Structure 1
Amino acid sequence: MRAKPLLVTGFGPFPGVPRNPSAVVARLLGIHARRHGLAGGDVRVLILPTSYGAIPTHLFPALAEGPSAVLMLGVARRAKRVRVEFRARNRVSRLFPDASGAIAQRLTLLAGGPAERRAGGAAKALASLRRHGIAAIPSHDAGRYLCNAAYFHALAEDIPVLFIHIPPLAEVGRPGPYQRDKPPAEALAAALVAVARGLLV
């Protein structure tokens, strides 16, 4: 029987971030994961437009294809370290428009839905990143923007799902977030292979 695919997601550009590092790392992770034979080599990389409309038009169809696990990446512009998100909340901000200029129409993502959804593999992923030389910290607040929204919806699936926020890749010059013997995106992508493997177990 053929293995179900691993789904890796990142986000496209948005105002102030013309080249989203989450997309860069997601594509590199896809390459690394295929080389390592994860999910039988069936690794699908989805770069989501940075708009609320992308959740039903892009994310939902990808989830409907039945991946074995989902590893989601986003950028946290003010972060200094990689953040492993332990939960997503059923909340959205009406203060920040998406890249298309749209603003959330309500304060909850899913009326009548749970207040939050938690990721079962977050602690294991955090330990794995640290073992691979990545300065990673736990986070219990994925924000109230698209990263949190996409994560909340993906966590409804009965499969392992994890979201990781990465700092801008320019942070590589400072002590910490990335292995110094590799370019920052490559170092993080290589470390995320082990995280993806953990989700597939």
Structure 2
Amino acid sequence: MLNGRTTVLLTGFGPFPSVPANATSLLVPRLAEAARAAFPGIVFETRTLPTEWAAGIEHLYGLYEGLTPTVALHFGVSSRARGFEIEARGRNRLGFLPDAAGVFPASPVLRAEGHEYLASTVPVSAIVARLRRRGLPAFISRDAGAYLCNATLYTALDMARRSAREHRIGFVHLPSSLLVEERRPAFGVHPRCPLTWRDAIDGGLEIIGATLGRPVVRR
């Protein structure tokens, strides 16, 4: 269990090619609202990261330097997600793919001469077990892809590795079919999605609780 003043940073992403409505940008503020009631005394901060190679990473650096979070949980969407995919590691690579601004990465790696892989510092197995006990589909993933999700995870872990502060950093992929329609901003869910909107909030609370080493206080 973490002691002392704890700041938890929750981030989602904006839209990008093939995902014009990214549910994580709406999920994280709603999750933080629920988490403030479920985990008294914890400070929650939320941000939406731009889905751009340069701006996204630059924004991430600013958040870690300015907020100095004890815990950072980053959320993104993936067409391969079968439910909650808890990423076990980030990889020092970039796919030659356009970002939301149509720009391609300038390098095939995130950090020259950096480690090929960096392990997530959240209790991945414990998170998956806790989600499954709630009846939610949850899996350990060892491949965060080669897009901004992986870049965010690897960059955050690399910053933490070179910092003297204690950090717990993780990344959660949700199904890209968790699309939120404009007409139903709180409840719109794709019929083929394995998660409901309520599942996403409930599971998010369990992920936070497992990372903090605390039970979820349900009112």
Does the Cα contact within 8 Å between 1:117 and 1:152 map onto a contact in 2? yes
1:162-187 deviation per Cα after TM superposition (whole angstroms, max 9, x unaligned): 1010002167645x833xxxxx2222
Q: Which residue of structure 2 lines up, in the alignment, with residue 191 of structure 1?
A: 203
- 2:124 and 2:55 mapped to 1: Cα distance? 25
Question: Match for 2:39: what amino acid?
Answer: G
What SS is found at the alignment partner of 1:45? strand
Indicate conservation of the 8 Å contact 1:11/1:74, yes or no.
yes
Instruction: Mark the runs of 5 or more structure 2 residues left unpaired by the alignment.
Output: 161-165, 180-188, 214-219
Provide the rounded CA distance (Å) in 1 between the counterparts of 2:101 and 2:71: 29
Q: Provide closer, same or farther for how the CA distance between residues 90 and 22 of structure 1 changes in structure 2, counting only shifts above 3 A.
A: same
C-alpha RMSD of the superposition:
2.0
What CA distance in whole angstroms lies between the structure 1 residues aligned with 2:113 and 2:73? 26
Per-residue deviation, residues 89-132 of structure 1 (Å, max 9, x unmatched): 001112x1100111111111100110110114111111121112
Q: TM-score, normalised by structure 2?
A: 0.81
* Other-structure match for 2:18: 16
Distance in structure 1 (CA, Å) of the matches to 2:46 and 2:62: 13
Q: Does 1:45 align with 2:64?
A: no
> 2:115 matched to 1:114?
yes
TM-score for both structures, normalised by structure 1? 0.88
Per the TM alignment, residue 56 of structure 1 is displaced from its structure 2 partner at its CA by 3.8
How far apart in 1 are the matches of 2:4 and 2:129? Answer: 30
CA deviations over 1:2-50 (Å, ceiling 9, x no partner) = 7231000110111221210122222221111111135x24101111010
% of aligned pairs identical?
33
Q: Tell me the residue number matched to 1:66.
A: 68
Unmatched segments (≥5 aa) in structure 1: 179-183
- Out of 186, 194, 214, the residue aligned to residue 177 of structure 1 is 194
Relative distance call for 1:91 and 1:48 in structure 2 (3 A) is same
1:1-201 aligned at under 5 Å gives the runs: 3-37=5-39, 40-64=41-65, 65-94=67-96, 96-120=97-121, 121-156=123-158, 157=160, 158-167=166-175, 168-169=177-178, 173-174=191-192, 177-178=194-195, 184-201=196-213
Q: Distance in 1 between matches of 2:33 and 2:211?
A: 17
